[in-house]
Amino acid sequence: MINVLFDDRQDVIEITGDNCKAVEKAIEEVIKAEELEEDFEVSVSFVTNEEIKGLNKEFRNVDSETDVLSFPMDDEFEGVVLLGDIVLSTQRIIEQANDFGHSLEREMAYLTVHSMLHLLGYDHMNGDEKTEMRSREKEIMKKLQIFK
């Protein structure tokens, strides 16, 4: 079982039920691809560029906007693994979807997959890590069958 908690703290786009389903499906596909069988909980927040920039500065000492931030918890509560928090900038989702010619759903799903891999310990700080993480992202996105 995977419990996804949503928090919409922005007014740039309307977060629909379909958006939430796409995010949940991306989370489920990562869990499945990693062959994990525990019960999990993940929180997903939709925020503005201003808020994500503040979080990026506070927690990473990087004074700029970003598309997604991951805050791993790796804790357990009553038999449920609390993986952590995913924070998505809706403005960056729109910008990047337009830049890459993707749908908002595809960009949202990709950023969710990317962030979930971070929550599970993947990183892209050096060449080998980046290659492995990008490979996992591509494999999972292919399984999600969101191509545009």
Binding region = 114, 118, 124
The first and second tokens of residue 138, run together, are 């591509």
Cβ-based neighbours of 114, under 8 Å, separated by 6 or more: 68, 133, 137
Query: Known binding site for Zn(2+): residues?
Result: 114, 118, 124
The first and second tokens of residue 114, run together, are 């990317």
Q: Which residue has the tokens 């995977």?
A: 2
The first and second tokens of residue 141, run together, are 């996105």
